């Protein structure tokens, strides 16, 4: 039986990655539960060791526009938000109204939660 332990440091992480690779290459159905467990442990360690900061709503809008190769003019057309308002939002000179959030959510497929910064509500 394969031993699975909590990943506590870079050496444990390297060993877990190597173990997962060996199991993947062995390609045995009976190893799938162990591979799932290792993948979860590796993911948890990497999320803690290498956190990815959340994007601001403006960064998320810009990211989705870039992914879709969408100009500000196209976004204005598709959302029916004035082009000048889109520009002001992206430059940080205008906040996001509920109506704009709805339209950007629908057009860019951005989750509603991405528009709300809950950092102010978290205790330090």
Q: Where are the domains of the chain?
A: 10-49, 57-117
Give me the percent of the chain exceeding a pLDDT of 90.
82
Q: Provide CATH code, domain 57-117.
A: 1.10.260.40
Tell me: the pLDDT tens digits for 64-114? 999 999 999 999 999 999 999 999 999 999 999 999 999 999 999 999 988
* Contacts with 92 (C-beta within 8 Å, 6 or more apart), sequence order: 58
- Here the tokens at position 12 are 């444990």
């Amino acid at each position: 039986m394969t031993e699975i332990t909590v990943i506590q440091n870079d050496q444990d992480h390297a060993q877990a990655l190597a173990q997962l690779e060996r199991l993947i290459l062995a390609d045995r159905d009976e190893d799938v539960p162990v591979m799932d467990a290792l993948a979860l442990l590796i993911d948890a360690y990497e999320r803690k060791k290498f956190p990815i900061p959340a994007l601001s709503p403006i960064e998320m809008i810009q990211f989705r526009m870039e992914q879709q190769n969408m100009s500000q003019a196209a976004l204005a057309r598709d959302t029916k938000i004035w082009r000048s308002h889109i520009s002001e939002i992206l430059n940080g000179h205008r906040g996001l109204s509920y109506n704009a959030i709805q339209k950007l959510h629908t057009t860019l497929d951005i989750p509603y939660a991405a528009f709300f910064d809950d950092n102010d509500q978290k205790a330090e």
